[in-house]
């Protein structure tokens, strides 16, 4: 199942990640070089121009501040993909005495799409240890074990992946694994494409959108308590009426059904005007 889900990552994501090997080769702040703010990490020259251009939609500084990222923390980032958020979180933690666990795709057979993504991600971090620090790469998937030592993490992050886990049938496991990894009082931060309220949730999230109430229910069933929500990543222009689901919008900009060749005649303009999806941003706490 995990290999099938990995195919949803575009070839462009692999190429962009590989390009990050070159972008990130400059010498970054070492662990002992002094404090770095979240804003400084987000504005770092090691981030690609394409990644920085998306900050207006993903608002990483505001989001990480809302979730409570702080010096000295142990953080678990679930399914970092090509490392869009890792390029901010890892340097910040490396400069401030923290620790990052990157719970990446669970790899099946060698050579599958998941294996390729993980190896590109691993090579990117290995190419610049002075910048990224000692990131522990673990795995999350249908049969994975702990994403970090039990009760060790201050913060766990689900960053636009809940819909993928719903499609793969592992959403409940994601919440369980995050709950296990977190300390009592630890925080789970979620960013996810938000469905229009009041609808019936497709359990497979076929269009990529998730009901906020459904996400809250999953978290509460795992034992989390909702602390607060934010409209940091809201986009009122997203009417969710897109022919190829959320992937019609930037940054994916799909022009044909999944698995079919791109349609060169597809008019992206009305969807590009919308921008990236409307997203929920939530903060949960593991009870003490």
* Alpha helices, DSSP H, located in 54-196: 55-58, 60-67, 86-95, 113-126, 129-132, 162-168, 171-181
| Cα 210 to Cα 102: distance, rounded to the nearest angstrom | 24
Give yes or no for residue 84 having a pLDDT over 70: yes
| Cα 134 to Cα 46: distance, rounded to the nearest angstrom | 17
Q: Beta partners for 75? A: 100, 155
User: What is the reported pLDDT for 110?
Assistant: 58
Q: Which domains occur in the chain, in start order?
A: 2-285 (3.40.50.150)
Model-level pTM greater than 0.85?
yes
Q: Which residues contact 32 (CB under 8 A, 6 or more apart)?
A: none
User: What is the reported pLDDT for 115?
Assistant: 84
Residue 65 or 14, more confident: 65
Give yes or no for residue 100 having a pLDDT over 70: yes
Mean confidence (pLDDT) of the chain: 89
CA distances from 137 to 39, 51, 107, 287 (A): 25, 22, 12, 27
Mean pLDDT along residues 151-163: 98
To the nearest 10 degrees (0 to 180), the angle between helices 86-95 and 113-126 is 40
Give yes or no for residue 17 having a pLDDT over 50: no
């Amino acid at each position: 199942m995990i290999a099938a889900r990995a195919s949803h990552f575009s070839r462009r994501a692999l190429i962009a990640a590989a390009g990050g090997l070159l972008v990130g080769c400059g010498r970054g702040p070492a662990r002992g070089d002094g404090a770095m703010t979240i804003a400084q990490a987000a504005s770092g020259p090691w981030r690609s121009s394409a990644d920085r251009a998306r900050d207006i939609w993903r608002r990483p500084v505001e989001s990480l501040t809302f979730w409570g990222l702080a010096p000295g923390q142990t953080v678990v980032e679930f399914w970092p993909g090509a490392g869009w958020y890792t390029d901010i979180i890892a340097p910040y933690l490396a400069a401030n005495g923290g620790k990052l666990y990157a719970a990446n795709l669970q790899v099946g057979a060698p050579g599958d799409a998941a294996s390729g993504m993980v190896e590109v991600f691993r090579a990117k971090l290995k190419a610049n240890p002075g910048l990224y620090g000692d990131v522990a790469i673990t795995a999350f998937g249908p049969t994975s074990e702990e994403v970090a030592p039990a009760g060790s993490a201050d913060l766990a992050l689900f960053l636009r992946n809940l819909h993928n886990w719903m499609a793969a049938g592992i959403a409940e496991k994601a919440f369980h694994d995050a709950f296990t990894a977190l300390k009592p009082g630890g925080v789970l931060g979620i960013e996810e494409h938000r469905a229009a309220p009041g609808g019936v949730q497709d359990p497979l999230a076929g269009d990529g959108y998730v009901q906020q109430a459904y996400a809250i229910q999953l978290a509460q069933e795992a034992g989390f308590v909702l602390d607060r929500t934010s409209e940091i990543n809201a986009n009122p222009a997203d009417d969710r009426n897109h022919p190829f689901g959320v992937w019609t919008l930037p940054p994916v900009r799909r022009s044909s059904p999944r698995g079919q060749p791109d349609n060169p005649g597809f008019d992206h303009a009305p969807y590009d005007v919308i921008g990236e999806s409307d997203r929920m941003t939530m903060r949960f706490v593991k009870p003490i």
